[in-house]
Amino acid sequence: MFRFGNSSLLSPYEAFRLSLASPRCSMNAVRDRIAGNGSIRFPRRILLHLANRCNFACPMCSIGVAREERQKEGRGDSPWEVVEKAITEAAKHGCYVELLGGEPSLYGRLFDTIALLTKYRLPSYIVTNGFNLKKRAHEVIEAGLKVLLVSMDGWDEESSYKRGLVPGSFEAIRAGIEEVNRLRRGIFPILRISSVITKANYRDIDRIADAVYGMGVRRWMIQNYCFMNDDAMAAHHKMKAETGIGDQLMMHHIPDADAYFDRSEVRDLQASLARTREKLKRQYPDMRVDFNFDLDLNDYYSPRRPASSSKCSLPFHRVDVFPDGRIASCGDGHTLGNILSGSIYDAWNGPQRAELMALLRKERILPMCFRCCGIMPDLKFDDTSTPYPPAALRSPGEHGAYVQLSGVAKS
């Protein structure tokens, strides 16, 4: 089912107010709930990447890895033509637009972008690391921002520094959220914090809960680490060679390991999450949390591939538009077209997407689905969840250059 930016975090009143702010988007959501969205003629979500720059250096940022590759080709921030064309076309079809980067707060025409979305009655949604939030809070609120998601993976300055390697980042987030709460009128922007489970915080998720609540935020999203091991990466490159489908991944490649966490670390994470769940129940019952506490973390942090019954909604309702105009599915996983020379509608209904959908109907789960964020809501493991065959590194100096070598074990 289509969900707008983790809509499980919305209260009924917030959902109602968003529907009034964008009636056409809301009608599409209702229609999809009734009829399904398998054959829609235009995506329901556009992720508009505004900036190929970021003031953080988060090691788990899948967008950052892809951005580094794109920057080698000289691609910078989004020209206004790309932004305006994407939003204007979204307005014709009633499509949600989420603003990403890099870091969107670095984009010079952020106010104009949000104001254009407001003009067309499209709900605006920003994902930010929060470092510039205090400085830009007034203009984004004046422009009509509807949803603000701040990424925060620590609970104090020391732990927050380990995320993006930026001194003062925790205080910047705290001060930015305080400024938003001071300036906003009514419920907008709806404020959320998102935390990724990492090596730096997996023993202390409950301490992040304290920090989130202490900042006055009552909407919290927790996300498991999105990773790709050598064998899944090799299968991805093999698929690309055989089908032409597959590009950058929405996961961090972890070389020479089966999974991001080992069994001992998983036990510590499970204990941390158990404390968090109890704290939410007893101390913070008014905080809405988006996280699957019932997911088997021993399966998740393992080399097992997702079960064939797992489902991902991203290829069925979302596209990403990048600063060079490229329109892609599965994040940056498969290019469908270019908005500078065509339209989102043509790309969505064109041959490149048709090939991707045909492959998905045949295989159901692709290697690039391995631990992608898109599959999280419906991720399952069963007897079909066998690991990918062993792989070997063909070109040690090349990022992600893995090929399938049948019958060869990793050293």
CB 403 within 8 A of CB 324: no
pLDDT tens, per residue, the chain with 411 residues: 233 344 567 888 888 898 888 888 888 888 877 776 567 899 999 999 998 888 877 766 655 554 455 544 445 789 999 999 999 999 999 999 999 988 999 999 999 999 999 999 999 999 999 999 999 999 999 999 999 999 999 999 999 998 888 899 999 999 999 999 999 989 999 999 999 999 999 999 999 999 999 999 999 999 999 999 999 999 999 999 999 998 878 788 899 999 999 999 999 999 999 999 999 999 999 999 999 999 999 999 999 999 999 988 889 899 999 999 999 998 888 999 999 999 999 999 999 999 999 999 999 899 999 998 888 888 999 998 999 998 754 444 333 333 332 322 332
**Predicted pLDDT of residue 55:** 80
**Predicted pLDDT of residue 406:** 30
Report the alpha-carbon distance of residue 208 to residue 370 in Å, rounded. Answer: 27
CB 368 within 8 A of CB 249: yes
**Predicted pLDDT of residue 68:** 54
